[in-house]
Amino acid sequence: MTKFVLTGSDGNLGRIAADFALEILKPEDQLVLTSYNLKLIPEDVVAGWRAKGAEVVEATYDDVESMKKAFEGAEAVGFISTWLFGDGRRNQARNVCAAAKAVGVKRVCYTSFVGAGCETDVEEEIPFLPRDHHFVEKTVKESGLQYNIQRNWLYMDNIPTLFAPSWKFCGDKWLSNSHGVPGAYVAREDCGRVFAALILGRGEPNTVYDVTGPEVVQQKDLMEWMCQQTGYKCEYVDMPDEELTKWWLDRGLPTDMATGDFSQLPMKLCIGDAICCGEMLGNGAMNSVSDTVEKLTGRKPARYQDYLLKYKDIFPKPE
């Protein structure tokens, strides 16, 4: 029997990974799913996981002892990056690696982000979103543990859920700074399944995997496709990074995710997050396609024309 642990199973990505891990888990193997608060997961979901043989326990990245207890006897542990930025996220990574090493875990898997593999260690030279991930990747690689790292491209889910709600606020415009450079947006569901596959050993040891969608596409084309579904009229407006930053700051978009007031704003993104999403397209970081999804899951990566239809009810609509 081989034991595998998936942490963060309460989150969007974690639940997808948990479901797929149970789907592909060998009957003789054991899966432990952790959450920092089991009350965040619907009771029927937890019951379903347990009915399929998973052990579901509480453990938090901020409590090494709780992780050591969950990790005991595991071959591999997967940890999912949280919404924290800076020292909080980095300390959590240190804690996971420390707990894993303390109880003899052989391999760790981490959900990283496009651009985290940049060569420089000068923080100011690394874009905002991959900055912490760059640090965490180094922490994992220097831990002495075997590793699998998946660098997720931007989720296509973010367009209808985070960015499209801002279009009416901006005067029926998508204000962006992608500068016309296309990117291979990926479905969050595909990322979750890839993570499960890596935890269960489908990847090569000490390997980094880029997780992309099946094609590169411009934001303008995505916007126009969404508008075709509802009849909404929207204009795509490209702006320099500095100009877009000022535009949102002038309207109160917070600089800090944890303490900011988003009550009067159309999207819950701090300024660094919002600007960097366009930057990762504009700098060409997402302008490539990999075969990771199909290679590790046996499924072709989702096309936005099919996948995003599940969000159609929240697409912007004409008044």
pLDDT tens across 93-134, in order?
899 999 999 999 999 999 999 999 988 888 889 998 999 999
- The residue ranges of the chain whose pLDDT is under 50 are none
Give this prediction's pTM.
Answer: 0.95
Q: What is the DSSP string of 81-141?
A: --S--THHHHHHHHHHHHHHHHTT--EEEEEEETTTT-S---GGGS-HHHHHHHHHHHHHH
- pLDDT value at residue 5: 98
Chain segment 2-14, per-residue pLDDT in tens:
999 999 999 999 9
Domain range annotation of the chain: 3-152, 154-184+213-287+302-319
Give the Cα-Cα-Cα angle 150, 191, 76 (nearest 5 degrees).
Answer: 55
Distance from C-alpha of 217 to C-alpha of 290, rounded to nearest angstrom: 14
Beta strands 30-35 and 207-211 are unpaired
Q: Which of 160, 190, 152, 141 is nearest to 294 (CA)?
A: 190
Q: How far is CA 188 from the centre of its chain?
A: 7
CB 46 within 8 Å of CB 38: yes
Residue 33, helix vs strand vs coil: strand
Return the exposure string of 124-142: e unless at least 16 CB atoms fall within 10 Å of the residue's CB, then b: eebbbbbbbbbbbbebbee
Sheet holding 76-79, edge to edge: 55-58, 30-35, 3-6, 76-79, 107-113, 146-152, 207-211
Q: List the end-to-end C-alpha distance of the chain, in Å, as a whole number.
A: 58
Task: Look at domain 3-152 and name its CATH class.
Answer: alpha beta
- pLDDT value at residue 256: 85
- pLDDT value at residue 100: 97
Per DSSP, what are the bridge partners of residue 113? 152
- pLDDT value at residue 293: 99
Judged by phi (left if over 0) then psi (alpha if -120 to 50, else beta), residue 180 lies in left
Distance from C-alpha of 259 to C-alpha of 114, rounded to nearest angstrom: 26
- pLDDT value at residue 119: 85
- pLDDT value at residue 85: 74
Distance from C-alpha of 231 to C-alpha of 109, rounded to nearest angstrom: 43
> Which DSSP symbol is given to 183?
B
Residue 251, helix vs strand vs coil: coil
Q: Which CATH superfamily is domain 154-184+213-287+302-319 in?
A: UDP-galactose 4-epimerase, domain 1 (3.90.25.10)
